């Protein structure tokens, strides 16, 4: 459920009419709902209670500092994968003890940043990384708390570009070698081993792969404890999928996922961490765009929007589906028409949808891409020198611009011309 609904014939974000925001900031723009972010965060905390737990929002899915502050104020932790994301979490006022540092290639600079600024734990993904972290910690006179991300060799049954838990993927340490790696970690002077981490992929619509992976984590916990490691924390990653198409079967709910966690690892007495991104942010945001032209082509009609692949890359990158709806509510049983929905960027890949049945829309009309909160704005680029689109946060009947659209002056100023020119 989200808070982007038609009221009196017009799409609203909570109590704010979308055309009001369009009039204030121009199109295209992203808009996020505080109520949806809050609701989705609470679904997870309720699903995991009464286990001791921390829900760490995967910042990579939506990293605007105002969104992070919204979640941070509720008590959320943050899962970061770069120094930049770490600084965003800090800028949102999230204390270091609620920031988990993940990622397959952390640099020594990033390790130093987090060790000096405060960090809950590093999720370490390789032996060289583990040795580097120990050295950095020793050089700073501190001890780095770590989990080791294991690769359980489980098929997450999701898009190949976002599956991470098979042995051929670059992530984690093969579970078959986990015991020797934990033994080495325990010997390294700058590290304190506290737990196990696993993340098998994103947009999972079936709970079975989670179950398979978490049962392997439970077994490993017992083995490692028997070998003398104090395993007190399990980071179970993110990945729970969301419904992108209204017509599809609904993916499992956070309550089912919480029950699965309790069933598989709940008796180990560990503190549980999860790192959901998409389920919290995905349906908490839409991308609003304007129809520039309706073009009649050979055997097909094109809806040419002012948003493009640089603003929302998921359809061209993963063939992802986003529902597209008009901002003016179509009358019941109004006729529909098939369109190829495209942006103005100069490549055929700049296609949002092919042969999509849409209510009649005309030049100048506003349309909204649903489920665009996660991996939308964060993956945007300035391809074709199109400015990054503004982000807006709604809270009941208020809205605020939380990132301005840059001016062309600002964009051009970033380029510098060498003296020889
Ligand atoms: N934890 C780790 C270690 C991750 O790598 C990810 C996502 C998450 C948590 C959050 O996963 P989520 O709950 O959002 O599924 N750009 C792609 C998705 C890439 C996901 C990368 N890792 C897309 O647009 O579908």
pLDDT in tens, 144-192: 999 999 999 998 888 888 888 888 888 899 999 999 999 999 999 999 9
346 counts as catalytic: yes
Which of 252, 274, 296 is a domain's end point? 274
Q: Which two tokens stand for residue 53?
A: 């737990």
In a domain, 359, yes or no: yes
Same domain, 341 and 401: yes
The DSSP 8-state label assigned to residue 204 in this structure reads B
Q: Which of 256, 335, 233, 246 is nearest to 283 (CA)?
A: 246
Cα–Cα distance for residue pair 291/297, rounded to 1 Å:
16
Which of 60, 148, 251, 371 has most ligand 1 atoms within 8 Å of its beta carbon, as the pocket-test mutant?
60
Same domain, 317 and 358: yes
Instruction: Name the β-bridge partners of 191.
Output: 144
Cα-flanking dihedrals φ and ψ of residue 68, to 5°?
-65, -40
DSSP SS3 for 32: strand
Cα–Cα distance for residue pair 340/356, rounded to 1 Å:
6
- 132: domain CATH number is 3.20.20.10
Same domain, 186 and 266: yes
Same domain, 262 and 304: no
User: Do residues 310 and 382 lie in contact, with contact meaning Cβ atoms separated by under 8 Å?
Assistant: yes
User: Do residues 369 and 324 lie in contact, with contact meaning Cβ atoms separated by under 8 Å?
Assistant: yes
The number of domains in the chain is 2
- How are beta strands 121-124 and 173-174 bridged, if at all? unpaired
Which of 222, 256, 274 is a domain's end point? 274
Which of 254, 274, 294 is a domain's end point? 274
Cα–Cα distance for residue pair 123/275, rounded to 1 Å:
12
Cα–Cα distance for residue pair 287/32, rounded to 1 Å:
9
How far is Cα of residue 362 from the mean position of the Cα atoms in its chain? 33
* 52-72 average pLDDT score: 98
Instruction: Name the β-bridge partners of 174.
Output: 151
Provide the pLDDT confidence category of residue 246 given band limits of 50, 70 and 90.
Answer: confident
Residue 375 Cβ contacting ligand 1 at under 6 Å: yes
Q: Which two tokens stand for residue 3?
A: 């808070």
In a domain, 57, yes or no: no
- 347: domain CATH number is 2.40.37.10
What residue's CA is closest to ligand 1, atom 16? Answer: 375
Same domain, 164 and 219: yes
pLDDT for position 302:
96
Same domain, 266 and 148: yes
In a domain, 97, yes or no: no
Same domain, 151 and 214: yes
pLDDT for position 290:
98
Provide the pLDDT confidence category of residue 248 given band limits of 50, 70 and 90.
Answer: low
Same domain, 394 and 348: yes
In a domain, 41, yes or no: no
DSSP 40-82: HHHHHHHHHTTS-EEEEEEGGG---HHHHHHHHHTT-EEEE-S
Which of 37, 44, 61, 372 has most ligand 1 atoms within 8 Å of its beta carbon, as the pocket-test mutant?
61
Q: What is the number of helices (H) and of strands (E) in the chain? A: 12, 21
Residue 58 Cβ contacting ligand 1 at under 6 Å: yes
In a domain, 151, yes or no: yes
Neighbours of 385 (CB within 10 A): 9
DSSP SS3 for 363: coil
Same domain, 210 and 253: yes
Same domain, 326 and 357: yes
The CA 170 to ligand 1 mean position distance, Å, reads 14
Residue 316 Cβ contacting ligand 1 at under 6 Å: no
In a domain, 36, yes or no: no
Same domain, 286 and 220: no
In a domain, 325, yes or no: yes
Give the predicted TM-score (pTM) of the model.
0.97
Atom of ligand 1 nearest to the CA of 313: 24
Which of 202, 280, 375 has most ligand 1 atoms within 8 Å of its beta carbon, as the pocket-test mutant?
202
Query: Could you list the residue range(s) of the whole structural domain that residue 261 is in?
Result: 103-274
The CA 354 to ligand 1 mean position distance, Å, reads 26
Atom of ligand 1 nearest to the CA of 149: 3
pLDDT for position 69:
98
Residue 314 Cβ contacting ligand 1 at under 6 Å: yes
Provide the pLDDT confidence category of residue 247 given band limits of 50, 70 and 90.
Answer: low
In a domain, 175, yes or no: yes
Residue 237 Cβ contacting ligand 1 at under 6 Å: yes
pLDDT for position 243:
93
pLDDT tens-digit map of 37-57: 999 999 999 999 999 999 999
Same domain, 230 and 295: no
Q: Which of 166, 162, 241, 239 is nearest to 205 (CA)?
A: 241
Output the CA torsion sign for 403, 407, 409, 414. Answer: positive
Neighbours of 205 (CB within 10 A): 18
Atom of ligand 1 nearest to the CA of 317: 24
pLDDT for position 156:
85
Residue 125 Cβ contacting ligand 1 at under 6 Å: no
Among the listed residues 226, 332, 333, 346, the single catalytic one is 346
- pLDDT greater than 90 at residue 204: yes
Q: Could you check whether the bond before residue 108 is cis, i.e. omega within 30 degrees of 0? A: no
């Amino acid at each position: 459920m989200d808070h982007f609904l038609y009221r009196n014939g017009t799409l609203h974000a909570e109590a704010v009419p979308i055309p009001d925001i369009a009039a204030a900031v121009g199109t295209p723009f992203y808009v996020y709902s505080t109520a949806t972010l809050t609701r989705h965060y609470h679904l997870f905390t309720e699903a995991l209670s009464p286990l001791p737990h921390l829900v760490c929002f995967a910042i990579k899915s939506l990293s605007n500092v105002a969104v992070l502050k919204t979640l941070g104020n509720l008590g959320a932790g943050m899962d970061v994968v770069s120094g930049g994301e770490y600084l965003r979490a800090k800028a949102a006022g999230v204390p270091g003890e609620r920031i988990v540092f993940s990622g397959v290639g952390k640099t020594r600079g990033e390790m130093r940043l987090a060790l000096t600024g405060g960090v809950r734990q590093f999720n370490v993904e390789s032996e060289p990384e583990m040795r580097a972290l120990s050295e950095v910690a020793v050089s700073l006179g501190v001890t780095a708390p770590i989990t080791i991300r294991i690769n359980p060799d489980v098929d997450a049954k999701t898009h190949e570009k976002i599956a991470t838990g098979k042995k051929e993927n670059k992530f984690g340490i093969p579970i078959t070698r986990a015991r020797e790696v934990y033994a080495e970690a325990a010997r390294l002077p700058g590290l304190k081993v506290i737990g196990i981490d696993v993340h098998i992929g994103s947009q999972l619509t079936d709970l079975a792969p989670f179950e398979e992976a978490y049962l392997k984590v439970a077994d490993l916990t017992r083995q490692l404890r028997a070998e003398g490691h104090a395993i007190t924390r399990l980071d179970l990653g993110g990945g729970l999928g969301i419904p992108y198409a209204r017509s599809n079967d609904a993916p499992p709910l956070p309550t089912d996922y919480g029950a699965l966690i309790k069933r598989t690892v709940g008796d180990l007495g560990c503190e549980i961490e999860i790192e959901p991104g998409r389920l919290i942010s995905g349906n908490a945001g839409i991308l609003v765009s304007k129809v520039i032209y309706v073009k009649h082509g050979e055997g097909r009609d094109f809806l040419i929007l002012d948003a493009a692949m640089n603003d929302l890359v998921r359809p061209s990158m993963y063939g992802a589906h986003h529902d597209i709806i008009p901002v003016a509510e179509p009358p019941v049983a109004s006729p529909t028409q098939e369109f190829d929905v495209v942006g103005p960027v100069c490549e055929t890949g700049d296609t949002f949808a092919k042969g999509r049945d849409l209510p009649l829309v005309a030049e100048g009309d506003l349309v909204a891409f649903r489920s665009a909160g996660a991996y939308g704005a964060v993956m945007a680029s300035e391809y074709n020198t199109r400015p990054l689109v503004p982000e807006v946060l709604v809270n009941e009947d208020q809205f605020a611009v939380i990132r301005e659209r840059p001016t062309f002056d600002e964009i051009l100023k970033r380029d510098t011309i060498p003296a020889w020119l």
